[in-house]
Amino acid sequence: MDWLDLARAALLGILQGLTEFLPVSSTGHLLIAERAMGFEDPGGAFTVMIQLGSILAVMWLYRQRIWDVVTGLPTKPEARRFALMLFLAFLPAVAIGLLAADYVKTVLYESLTVIAWALIIGGVAMLGIERFRPTPQVEDAARTPIGRAVAVGVFQTLALIPGVSRSGATIYGGLLMGLDRRAAAEFSFFLAMPTMAAAFVHDFLDVKDHITPDRTAEIAVGFLFAFLSALVVVKPFLDFVTRIGFGPFAFYRIAAGAMVLGALAMGWL
């Protein structure tokens, strides 16, 4: 391993952290970037491990909320309701993930065409939802009605398709379920914690044998930069979508998907 390997690991870590909580598909961006860089990731070990950096970043940002919920479970009804809401919203991803994980990893992850079209279709869907979404009725993500929270969890299952975006799918679902922009984005962050933690544990068990000593430095660098970049992006993203909306991300998705299709047609990827 040389400095070039570490530099590529740092760039991929930054990309992971920046895109994980934006509605643009971190997995899609990583798979495209790894292919473009010629980055070898046997078993997907690097990708799995650096995602942990993003998970820990959002948990750090919401550490007070997490602490309040955990310590309040025995005595506070609102803490128990919050935990139940997230648990029920999390279940659809568990069920569909267990059924479809092998197909997603062995077939869909290998197709940049699927990723490109998912980016484009997701961008078009986002523009439509922004324009025709129902009048917001929920302004606090923590007070999302449980039925609506479960519906958002069902939308999250769409993110098994690489290029759809986990945060994008949950945000779309939140907007359609009557959450305002900030609440939809924040609910996506809350739901990311159990979902991404469970996905990490599941994937880690599959890839642990590929985490060899000679890859430790590469993984450590990617993890660190994923953590730092996610830490930087979450709060500004909330402020941005509250003021501007999701339109710029929709146009970005469409443009990125179109460029990938063009690059595939030219034989560049």
Taking the domains of the chain in order of start, what are their residue ranges? 3-265
Residue 38 has pLDDT above 80, yes or no: yes
Q: What is the pLDDT of residues 159-218, one digit of tens each?
A: 988 899 999 999 999 999 999 999 999 999 999 999 999 888 888 888 888 788 878 899
Which residue's entry shows tokens 């986990």? 166
Which residues, including other chains, have CB under 8 Å from residue 260's CB and lie 6 or more apart? 32, 112, 115, 116, 119, 269
Largest CA distance in the chain: 62
Q: Please answer whether residues 21 and 237 qualify as being in contact, where contact means their C-beta atoms are separated by less than 8 angstroms.
A: yes
pTM of the model: 0.90
Distance between CA 163 and CA 173 in Å, rounded? 16
Q: What is the pLDDT of residues 226-253, one digit of tens each?
A: 999 999 999 999 999 999 999 999 999 9
* Residue type at position 157: T
- DSSP for 203-220? HHHHHGGG--GGGHHHHH
The DSSP output letter for 161 is S
